[in-house]
Amino acid sequence: MKMGSVDSIESFGLVDGPGIRTVVFLSGCKLRCKYCHNPEMWKMGKENYTAEALVEKILKNKPYFRRNQGGVTFSGGEPLLQSEFLIEVCKILKKENIHIALDTAGVGNGDYEELLSYIDLVLFDIKHVTKEGYQDLTGFNMDSSLEFIESLNKSGVPVWIRQVIVPGIMDCDSYLEKLSLVLKSIKNIEKIEFLPYHTMGREKYKKLGISYVYENLEEMDQEKCQELYQRFMEVYYGKE
């Protein structure tokens, strides 16, 4: 029986997909993003849940899912690193007609076809739009993310795009132009979100004894972030 490594579970998530959601944070991630606010999930933790036990916990919130068109979102860390475990969980959830979202940067172990067949929505985290920028920001190469995009396009699963806006990196027209080209290569995009860079995870680094690279970087101004979003949508997508 496949076991999964779950860091934590949030019962009433409101920002990780439609409706009220149970958000399951899975341990393990290959990336080391400079702005990551969950560094405690980088390493794979103990295998502490069977598929059946996790589903049992999720189903306790099923009445809220029905009333609010919610469901479960698998996040992390990087949930794709535990795809075999997730497939077992998703098979059971589908029998219960639960809406399943996957919050991912697309950096797993490959072979995503079966898992994506059970997913209703992908929240795809765009780290950077060039290979050089991606490597600098995450400490990892971009090829795995591009491989996932290919699988995602074949699956036909609806996509919500998430782009963290880091001051001095993403807040300029040249970056927005490149971003638009990348997004045009992704099918079935239903929504694009710009998320302002914040420092809420900084204290975790101190507790873990990890150097925080952006120690002196100020948070992204939310109003400016919204202005960038409007400019991006109007100029490059012709939307308001």
Q: Quote the Cα angle for 208-209-212, to 5°.
A: 95
d(CA 63, CA 159) in angstroms, rounded, equals 25
d(CA 152, CA 112) in angstroms, rounded, equals 8
Closest CA to 130 of 115, 148, 121, 143: 143
d(CA 98, CA 160) in angstroms, rounded, equals 18
Tens-level pLDDT at each residue, the chain (240 residues): 789 999 999 998 888 999 999 999 999 999 999 999 999 999 999 999 999 999 999 999 998 887 788 999 999 999 999 999 999 999 999 999 999 999 999 999 999 999 999 999 999 999 999 999 999 999 999 999 999 999 999 999 999 999 999 999 999 999 999 999 999 999 999 999 999 999 888 889 989 999 999 988 999 999 999 999 999 988 766 644
Q: Within its chain, how far is the Cα of 189 from the centroid?
A: 14
Write the DSSP symbol of residue 121.
E
Q: Is the dihedral of CA 16, 18, 22, 27 positive or negative?
A: negative
